[in-house]
Chain A
Amino acid sequence: MGEGDGAGFQPPQKQEQEQWMERALTMAKEALENGEVPVGCLMVYRNEILGQGRNEVNETKNATRHAEMVAIDQVLKWCHQKGRDRKEVFEHTVLYVTVEPCIMCAAALRLLNIPLVVYGCQNERFGGCGSVLNISQDDLLYTGTPFQCLGGYRAEEAVELLKTFYKAENPNAPKSKARKKH
C-alpha cells in the first residue's frame, strides 16, 4: 500500500470508541429536536475533536453538504490555521458517526485516507460501507485508501431517530412542529 496506509495508526480502545459514539448519538438527538437530519458526526484526532458536522443541505442548497463533509471542512480549516500537514492529520483521524456514511462520503473519506470509521446503524438507502456499495473496502487504486469500519453501535436508537425524522419529512404525514425552521 505504500505511504498513505496510515502507518503508525493505532485504533482507539473500545471504551474510548463508546465514549465518542455516545457523544455522536447525543448530537443526533439534538439535531432531531431542532428539526434537522438526526445524524451525529465527530472527527477525532489524537483524542481531540477537530470537526463536528451536521447536515447543511438546506441552508447551502448544496445536496453534498452531509454531516461528514461539513466535519471534513472543519478539520481542513483546523489544519490550515495550525499549519499542520493535513495528510498526517487525516491519517490519524477517526470518524464517529451515528449512520453508515453514504457512497459519496465514503469515497471522500477514502480520498483523505481516513483509517477508521465507527458508526451506528446501516444506511439502507445510500450506504457506502456495505449496504448499497462497499466503497470503504473496494479495490480503487486512484481513490485514496480503503478504511476499516466498525458498525452497529446502538444501531436501534440511531434508526429510530431517522424514522422519526423521515415520518415528519413525509408531506403526507401530519406536519410536525419540529420541522419548521426558526
Chain B
Amino acid sequence: MSTINFAAREINCKIVYYGPGMSGKTTNLKHVFSKVPGHLRGEMVSLATEDERTLFFDFLPLDLGTVKGFKTRFHLYTVPGQVFYNASRKLILRGVDGIVFVADSSPDRLRANAESMRNLRENLAEHGIDVKDVPIVLQINKRDLPGALPTEMIRAVVDPKKELTIFESTAHNGVGVFETLKTVSRLVLEKLSKS
C-alpha cells in the first residue's frame, strides 16, 4: 500500500485522522505542526470553511529521517467530520496505510462516534480494504470536558470487541497527541516490513 520510490529512495506512508465532526482531528495536526521542528515537517495545507471547519482535508508532511538508506516520510491527513461530506471523506481514505480514529468524549456525541465508525467501515469496504488490514488506533479526545463520558463507555460503542489500541487525549493542549501518532506510525512501519 505504501508508496516506495526507489530512485529517490523514499518510502511514503499515509495516515488519516478520522472521526465525527468537531472531535479534534485538525487540532491533532495543528499540535504536531507546532511542536515538530521546521526541517522535519513541510507546510500544513488546510482546506477549511470560514469558521475553520474542515471542508476537504488538512495535510501535513512529516519526515522521519533515513532508515536503511530509505528516506521515510509520513503524510498526515484529516477528513471533514460532518455527515454530509461523505463523498470527499471517502476520497481521502484512498491508499490509506494507518488510521487514527478521534472520538469525542462529550455525552451528546456518543451516537456521532458510533455513526462515524460505521461510516469508516463502509468507506473502507468500498475501497476494497478490510478493516483488519489497516492499523487503527483509537483516540478518546476531550478528556478535560466537564461531564466527559467514561472511556469504557465510548469504547463499548466504537470498539466493542476491544481490538484497538486506545489513548486518552486533550488535543488542544497536546496531551496524548504524540503518543497516538507514534503508535499508529509504528504499526504502519511494522506492517510495511512484514509485507
The answer to whether A and B assemble together is no
- A interface residues (Cβ-Cβ under 8 A, vs B): none
